[in-house]
Amino acid sequence: MTVVACPTCAKKVEWTPENKYRPFCSERCKQIDLGAWAEEKYTIPAAAPNESQDNPLDDDQR
């Protein structure tokens, strides 16, 4: 049996089909995580595109 840590509270959770909230320990932790996504607390860092990527044609080629 696999045991994982709940992503919200770090409580140990059995990874079994009977645990309908996996990887979370409870619906409460699942809802907390969903709320964080809805509030955009989780982001993926990205570099700002440079101008040459925004416009692939130079001014001379238009």
Output the known binding site for Zn(2+): 6, 9, 25, 29
Give the separation between CA 49 and CA 41, rounded to whole angstroms: 22
Enumerate residues 6+ apart whose C-beta is below 8 A from 12: 3, 4, 5, 6
Q: List, as residue ranges, the binding site.
A: 6, 9, 25, 29
